[in-house]
Amino acid sequence: MAVKSTLKKVKRFLRGGCVPIYYSLRSRAVQCFKLKRLPFLPHKIDIEPIDMCNFTCDHCQVTHWNRLTTRLTPERFKTILTQLPGLLSIKLQGMGEPLLNKLLIDMLEECERRGIDMEVTSNGSVYTENIASRLSSLRRALIVFSIDGATAETFEAIRVKGNFKAVTSHVADFTRRRGKKPWPRIEIRTVATLRNIHELPDIVRLAKRLGVDSLTITTLLTDWGKAEMQDSLAPINVSRENSHTDQFIEEAEKVADTINMPIIIEHGQRYSTLNRCIWPWYSSYIAANGDVVPCCIIADSTVAKMGNLFEEPFSRIWNNEKYQDLRRRISSNDIPHYCRNCYGMTPIAPANER
Ligand SMILES: C[S@@+](CC[C@H](N)C(=O)[O-])C[C@H]1O[C@@H](n2cnc3c(N)ncnc32)[C@H](O)[C@@H]1O
Ligand code: SF4
Ligand code: SF4
């Protein structure tokens, strides 16, 4: 009995600490050696359960696309898992609201059975007794709720068709239900824009009141690799040079300190030879229809499609010409057009100006 429990602890330690560090170092090492064909598969993956939403947030590409809805089935999900042995973690969310796929929780429970860590971000609108009780039983999960305002007025102007009172009461109920257990971890995620920056300190207070474990505030806005999204994003994008942005972020940090609310502030980083993208060396994004896309910053196969894993094995796609070319271009500072505004919408200087 004691041997079994020690083995279990060692396994948990290796999976939680050593193995992810080893895998990350391995990806960095092969990137340094400019390997384009990788001798290993991703250890992390994003899988999109559904590609439609019940909200219409203007800064999100889902609002602007017009396509028939695809829902991932648990059978197809298992096919993906079979093609990707050795996964340590899965983000089971892409574009759209993941909980609109009624079979999402079956897929999460499959991850739990297989000992794979999972993460889901939700708009917090789809909430029933069944959903809440099954989600709160997941030991290996991080459940994230997107909240972009501390008042109904701001929240509902950004998260169009969302209801502030309903979403915040769902989060409060979920944290109450989870109680003192350390799992699942519960987080709030806020995309900071010029429309809500003044409410950041109050969002910190709200996160504390709702009882979540942490709050992540990101100033990183993606244009999803699409020129047509830039016009609508530019006016709301907070620039790091803007002193008002700094002022509200500093105030939010002070409030967090005072009320003891763990927060993470994510700023976009400018691309440089020291800050190269590592995604195509360790992870990938699988759309609901099986299309393979380089990352969640793009998340749309009409922008970049590497293949489709229901049509050919992922192992072949992972080292095909397109993936090799992407790795070569990132390694030689000749990034594709869709990567140009990654890293916080900071325009990237041409390679010869860096
Ligand atoms: C695409 S949504 C999908 C999950 C779910 N529907 C939600 O809103 O949480 C995932 C996250 O992306 C954020 N997001 C939406 N548009 C964005 C953009 N242009 N740049 C950065 N993040 C964005 C959302 O606020 C949310 O936290
Ligand atoms: S709720 Fe999420 S997926 Fe839906 S439009 Fe808003 S950000 Fe996009
Ligand atoms: S958009 Fe390009 S640079 Fe950014 S994460 Fe994706 S692959 Fe990497």
Contact, 81 vs 110, CB < 8 A?
yes
Q: How far is the CA of 189 from the centre of ligand 2 (A)?
A: 12
Which atom of ligand 3 is nearest to 296's Cα?
A: 6
**303-324 residues labelled b (16+ CB within 10 A) or e (exposed):** bbbbbbbeeeebeebbeeebbb
Instruction: Decide whether any atom of ligand 3 lies within 6 Å of the 298 Cβ.
Output: yes
The ligand 3 atom at the shortest distance from the C-alpha of residue 278 is 8
Contact (Cβ atoms closer than 8 angstroms) between residue 51 and residue 70: yes
5-41 confidence digits (pLDDT tens): 666 666 666 566 677 777 878 877 778 777 778 999 9
Q: What is the pLDDT of residue 197?
A: 95
Ligand 2: does its nearest atom lie under 6 Å from the Cβ of 55?
yes
What's the average model confidence in pLDDT over 301-306?
Answer: 97
Q: What would the 3-class secondary structure string for 244-263 be?
A: HHHHHHHHHHHHHHHHCCCE
Q: What pLDDT was estimated at residue 11?
A: 60
How many angstroms is it from 326 CA to the middle of ligand 1? 25
Write the residue with the smallest CA distance to atom 8 of ligand 3: 277
Q: Assess contact for 144 and 187: CB atoms under 8 A.
A: yes
What pLDDT is attached to residue 2? 62
Does the beta carbon of 93 sit less than 6 angstroms from any atom of ligand 2? no
Q: Which residues contact 235 (CB under 8 A, 6 or more apart)?
A: 194
Strand arrangement, sheet containing 185-191 = 263-266, 214-218, 185-191, 141-146, 117-122, 89-91, 44-47, 285-286, 291-293, 307-308
For ligand 3, whether the C-beta of 164 sits within 6 Å is no
- Residue 221's pLDDT is 87
Residue 89 β-bridge partners: 44, 117
Q: pLDDT for 238-256, tens place per residue? A: 865 666 888 999 999 999 9
Token pair 């459940």 is at which residue?
143
Neighbours of 149 (CB within 10 A): 22
Q: Which of 279, 303, 306, 346 to mutate to test the pocket of ligand 3 (most atoms within 8 A of CB)?
A: 279
The pTM of the full predicted model, rounded to 2 decimals, is: 0.91
Residue located nearest, by CA, to atom 7 of ligand 2: 60
How far does the centroid of ligand 2 lie from the alpha carbon of residue 159, in Å? 7
